[in-house]
Chains A and B, each alone.
Chain A
Amino acid sequence: MAGFTGERTLMRIFIGGSDRWDGRPLHEAIVELMRREGFAGATVLRGILGFGPSATVHRDAPFRLSRDLPIVIEVIESAERIEAMLPQLDRMLGGGLITLEKVRVIMYRADLPEGERTGSWPISLDG
């Protein structure tokens, strides 16, 4: 995806690992939605401890199958595409938090062969 660099929006979605949507884990449904919408990428992180709007403390206890640990989904896209997705996320989230921040993307590449990585950094930092 050429031309992805420049000012973008970093969206982070904080939910619980046991949250569900349409019969499957909510975080899977969200990532699937983003993929379907042609988003540039998404990353899912699992927390080890936390509390949220429900004030439940989620804890990663040893020897216990804890499926309700905090989950964070991070995605970087154009402000327009993220804004356009918010109504859908609004329907899917029963509880949680979404944060939006401005970021400058200076690198986005899929699979550039090592021989073509010159290190000359032909990327505009002014984006």
Chain B
Amino acid sequence: MTPAAATPGVPRGERTERTLMRVYLGEADRHQGTTVYEAIVRLLRARGMAGATVMRCVGGFGASRAMRSMVSEIGALDLPVVVECVDDEARIRDVLPALDAMVRGGVITLERADVIVYRPDAVRDAGAGGGG
């Protein structure tokens, strides 16, 4: 259990408006010896973004029209993945040229979102490092 040692009634989260970027691509897409999604996460981390999450989907199709599905042995080797990142608009825009050079085929969407950020508390920092 990780209860926060916060002042009662005072939210610890910082609430702001940010940009949510979603990058849709293929799990097997490669860039300079690694998968594109891993390269993107590494890039986002190197650029000091607040966080990124990669989700593997169970099916779909994209610009190439090839069906991806877990029921097909071939399709299951290249399922769609989505990389999500929330940060301020300027930082997201700064990273777009680099993504342009990495993404061979895919979709990038940008949305405005209200966000509440919870930073790991001191106890967590000393421990196994959880959170988001």
**Judging by beta carbons under 8 Å apart, are B41 and A97 in contact?**
no
A95 interface hit (Cβ, 8 Å): yes
**Judging by beta carbons under 8 Å apart, are B131 and A19 in contact?**
yes
**Bound complex: CA of A79 vs CA of B51, how far in Å?**
25
Residue of B nearest to A101 (CB): B113
**Judging by beta carbons under 8 Å apart, are B55 and A48 in contact?**
yes
**Judging by beta carbons under 8 Å apart, are B119 and A53 in contact?**
yes
**Judging by beta carbons under 8 Å apart, are B55 and A91 in contact?**
no
B2 interface hit (Cβ, 8 Å): yes
Identify A49's interface contact among B1, B3, B41, CB under 8 A.
B41
Residues of A within 8 A of B118 (CB): 53, 90, 93-98
Contact with A along B48-90 (1 / 0, CB 8 A): 0011111110000000000000000000000001000010000
Rounded to whole Å, the gap between the CB of A94 and the closest CB of chain B is 4
A interface residue numbers (CB < 8 A to B): 14-16, 18-23, 45-57, 68, 70, 72, 86-87, 90-91, 93-101
Q: A20-B1, A54-B130 are in contact. List 9 more A-B contacts (CB 8 A).
A: A14-B132, A16-B132, A48-B54, A49-B41, A50-B53, A86-B11, A90-B13, A96-B118, A101-B112
